[in-house]
Amino acid sequence: MKNRFVALLMVLALLVSAGATFAQEEKTIAQLAAETPELSTLLSLVEAAGLAEVLNSTDAEFTIFAPTNDAFAALPSFVVEYVTSDVELLTAVLTYHALPAAVTSDAVSPMMAATVNGGELTIDVVDGMVKVDQATVVTADIIASNGVIHIIDSVLVPTITLPEVIPADVTGDISIAGSSTVFPLTQFILDQFVAEGYAGTITNDSVGTGAGFERFCTTENATDISNASRAIREEEAANCEAAGRPNIGLRVGDDGIAVVANPANEFLTDLTAEQLALAFSTAVTWADVDPSFPAEPIIRYSPGTDSGTFDFFVEEALDDNADALLNATELNLSEDDNVLLEGVANNVNAIGYFGFAYYTENAADLKIISIDGVLATPETVASGDYALARPLFIYTAIEVFAAKPQVASFVSYYLTNDEAAIEATGYFPANKFDQNIARLLVAAAMHSAMMGGM
């Protein structure tokens, strides 16, 4: 990483020594931003943080990755209120968008770049577009007398440190329900929370993502946290709103759905995406999937319809056609991954799917199938090359934090300790941007809860 940053500095030095066009421009970064209507929110925040004078100075050069007004508007209002209420935090966020030198787009290559606030941005070129962390540069190279502006489509978030939580000091009950996939991750953290001194009652029910949202988005006896292996749907979010607890989704990691067969199966090693769809829909025998396969009936094992794994698989593998799977022959549905494992492990013509972490726990009893020649591995899931890679979430609400501060403490503890838990349970860490967003959401929700809610 140091070598890459040194290389970046060398590129910057060459730009300066080559007499790049920055000095030929008469207007500063601040002046150009003031003339750009889509940057008016950024400019107002820069002024609120007392940084306008810096961006007007010609004593130093900067690269500014400037979020549009729409990018700021996409942030929840409670997050904006939290960031703007603390000048130190606002300054940290704004200076995370700045590099201490001028870099034009023609000098960009995959690199880690140190920001003015001391953090690091990941800069890359993807499909011809410059990416900064997860943001995309939509307008490049607005040249100023003291640097350059690149307009981006989302707000960048620096590393957020959540308050330290001492489990022994936390009192009150906590209830959790939802995804069977996220269950072991949450359980690992829960067990650690208890081992470090939490003496209250905490439950973690594996009922499926959909059923978890039904419990969370209710007006009576609602759970405090919902485990989810997919994002919440519009109608589910509307139910949460109606129940007076608008949801906050926190990405806690990534997973890949493992497609598995019986170890004694000699013909299944790889399936194309089209063959996978056939195997879980209209094909009756394996010969219907591929003429070279035996004419034996396909025995299918799938998570039940309350499962986020079912929803994600149907969306990605079957073009969101749930009936194609539900009408298939020899279909066995269960919310219990152990039932699916046993079914596949005991039938040579069976095929099934569930979370990659569950597969790794039981790899000796199963055979994993690659999709389009790509096997599910930590590397292919993290890169997105594997077709059935997916995000994992927990959901909660400001109203829950306000009514039950112990839940805020547990969620803060969760996000502070999730990387070790993810490694221990066989999942994959979320990207840096989503980790930072999740921690910012929690910090802002805790602030809002203390201030009396929205």
Question: pLDDT for 280-336, tens place per residue?
Answer: 999 999 999 999 999 999 999 999 998 888 998 999 999 999 999 999 999 999 989
Cα separations in angstroms, 119 against 108, 154, 156, 315, 432: 18, 18, 11, 37, 12
Closest CA to 414 of 432, 391, 396, 390: 396
More confident residue, 43 or 424: 43
- pLDDT confidence of residue 8: 38
Confidence of residue 22 (pLDDT cuts 50, 70, 90): very low
DSSP string, 325-338: HHT-TTEEEES-HH
Cα 163 to chain center, whole Å?
21
Residue 204 and residue 417: Cα distance in Å, rounded?
17
3-state secondary structure of 181: coil
Residue 286 and residue 268: Cα distance in Å, rounded?
10
Q: What pTM was computed for the model?
A: 0.81
pLDDT in tens, 420-447: 898 888 888 888 889 999 999 999 999 9
What is the H or E stretch that residue 243 is in? none
- pLDDT confidence of residue 25: 59
What's the mean pLDDT in 244-263?
94
Domains in the chain: ranges and CATH = 2-152 (2.30.180.10), 159-454 (3.40.190.10)
**Residue 184 has which token pair?**
């072991």
Closest CA to 325 of 276, 281, 285, 279: 281
Residue 279 and residue 268: Cα distance in Å, rounded?
11
Residue 223 and residue 161: Cα distance in Å, rounded?
26
The answer, yes or no, to whether residue 2 has pLDDT greater than 60, is no
- pLDDT confidence of residue 442: 98
- pLDDT confidence of residue 110: 79
Q: Which residues have CB under 8 Å from 246's CB, separation 6+? A: 237, 240, 397, 398, 399, 454
3-state secondary structure of 29: helix
The answer, yes or no, to whether residue 11 has pLDDT greater than 50, is no
CA angle 39, 44, 50 (to 5 degrees): 125
pLDDT in tens, 218-239: 988 899 999 999 899 999 999 9
Confidence of residue 9 (pLDDT cuts 50, 70, 90): very low
The answer, yes or no, to whether residue 4 has pLDDT greater than 80, is no
pLDDT in tens, 350-387: 999 998 888 988 999 999 999 999 998 877 876 778 99
Tell me the average pLDDT of the chain: 90
More confident residue, 3 or 28: 28
- pLDDT confidence of residue 453: 55
Residue 440 and residue 228: Cα distance in Å, rounded?
20
pLDDT in tens, 93-115: 999 999 999 988 887 777 888 99
What's the mean pLDDT in 268-274?
96
Confidence of residue 58 (pLDDT cuts 50, 70, 90): confident
Confidence of residue 13 (pLDDT cuts 50, 70, 90): very low
What is the H or E stretch that residue 102 is in? none
Residue 65 and residue 127: Cα distance in Å, rounded?
19
Asked if residues 345 and 338 have their Cβ atoms less than 8 Å apart, the reply is no
pLDDT in tens, 145-203: 999 999 999 999 999 999 999 999 999 999 999 998 899 999 999 999 999 999 999 99
Bridge partner residues of 177 (DSSP): 205, 226
The answer, yes or no, to whether residue 419 has pLDDT greater than 70, is yes
pLDDT in tens, 111-128: 888 999 999 998 888 777
